[in-house]
Amino acid sequence: LKEHYAQLSKLPTVTKDGIEVDLMANISTHLDVEAAMKYGAKGVGLFRSEFLFMGRDTIPDEETQFKAYKEAIEKCNGNLCVIRTMDIGGDKPLPYLNIPEEENPFLGYRAIRICLNRREVFMPQVKAILRAGVYGKAAMMLPMVINVEEVKQVREIIEQAKAELAAQEKPFSDNVQLGIMVETPAAAVMTPVLAKYLDFFSIGTNDLVQYTLAVDRVNANVSYLYNHFNPAVLRLIKLTIDSARKNNIWVGMCGEMASDPNAAAILMAMGINELSMSAPSIPRVKEKIRSITSAQAKAALDTVMTMEDGNAIKEYLQTAL
Ligand code: PEP
Ligand code: MG
Q: What is the CA radius of gyration of the chain?
A: 19
Chain centroid, CA 183 distance in Å: 9
Task: State which of 26, 47, 85, 87 you would mutate to test the pocket of ligand 1, scoring each by most atoms of that ligand within 8 A of its C-beta.
Answer: 87
Instruction: Judge whether 84 is annotated as a binding position.
Output: yes
pLDDT digits (tens, 9 = 90+) for 193-235: 999 999 999 999 999 999 999 999 999 999 999 999 999 999 9
Position 309 scores a pLDDT of: 98
The dihedral region occupied by 77, where left means phi > 0, alpha psi between -120 and 50, and beta the remainder, is left
For residue 35, name the pLDDT band (cuts at 50, 70, 90).
very high
Residue 2 has pLDDT above 90, yes or no: no
Which has the closest alpha carbon to 183: 146, 214, 224, 215? 146
What value does the mean pLDDT of the chain take?
96
- Ligand 1 within 6 A of CB of 254: yes
Q: What number is the average pLDDT over the span 154-169?
A: 98
Going by alpha carbons, the residue nearest to atom 3 of ligand 1 is 204
Q: Rounded to whole angstroms, how far apart are CA atoms 256 and 15?
A: 21
d(CA 61, CA 50): 13
309-320: average pLDDT = 97
How far is ligand 2, taken at its centre, from the CA of residue 205, in Å? 7
Residue 82 bridge partners (DSSP): 139
Q: What percent of the chain has pLDDT over 70?
A: 100
Neighbours of 195 (CB within 10 A): 22
Q: What H or E segment, with its residue span, contains residue 274?
A: strand 274-277
Task: Write the CA distances from 58 to 61, 64, 98, 138, 209, integer angstroms.
Answer: 9, 12, 11, 26, 33
* Residue 228 and residue 178 in contact, taking contact as beta carbons nearer than 8 Å: no
Kindly state the average pLDDT of the residues 242-269.
Answer: 98
Instruction: Say if CB 26 and CB 46 are below 8 A apart.
Output: yes
pLDDT given for residue 140 in this prediction: 99
Cβ of 228 closer than 6 Å to ligand 1, yes or no, is no
One-letter identity of residue 4: H
CA of 275 to the centre of ligand 1 (A): 13
Task: Please state the pTM of the whole predicted model.
Answer: 0.97
Question: Which value, to the nearest 10 degrees, does the dihedral of the CA atoms of residues 167, 169, 172, 175 take?
Answer: 60
254 is known as an active-site residue: yes
Q: How far apart are CA 200 and CA 107, in angstroms?
A: 25
Q: Helices (H), strands (E): how many in the chain?
A: 15, 8
Amino acid occupying residue 121: V
Residue 230 and residue 318: Cα distance in Å, rounded? 15
Closest-CA residue to 305 (of 241, 226, 231): 231
In tens, the pLDDT along 52-88 reads 999 899 999 999 999 999 999 999 999 999 999 999 9
- For residue 151, what pLDDT band results from cuts at 50, 70 and 90? very high
Answer yes or no: is the C-beta of 207 below 6 A from any ligand 1 atom.
Answer: yes
What is the rounded distance in angstroms from the CA atom of residue 110 to the CA atom of residue 91?
Answer: 10
pLDDT in tens, 5-30: 888 999 999 999 999 999 999 999 99
Contact 293, 301 (CB under 8 A): no
Is residue 110 in contact with ligand 1, taking CB distance under 6 Å? no
**Inter-residue contact 29 to 65 (CB < 8 Å):** no
Please state, as a whole number, how many other Cβ atoms lie within 10 Å of the Cβ of residue 29: 14
* Phi–psi pair at 320, nearest 5 degrees: -65, -30
Task: Tell me: pLDDT of 1 over 90.
Answer: no
pLDDT score, position 5: 85
The one catalytic residue in 76, 81, 115, 254 is: 254
Examine the pLDDT at 31 and tell me if it is beyond 90. Answer: yes
8 Å CB contact between 110 and 100:
no
Per the DSSP assignment, residues forming a β-bridge with 249 are none
> Comparing 136 with 89, which gets the higher pLDDT?
136
Give the Cα-Cα-Cα angle 105, 108, 113 (nearest 5 degrees).
130
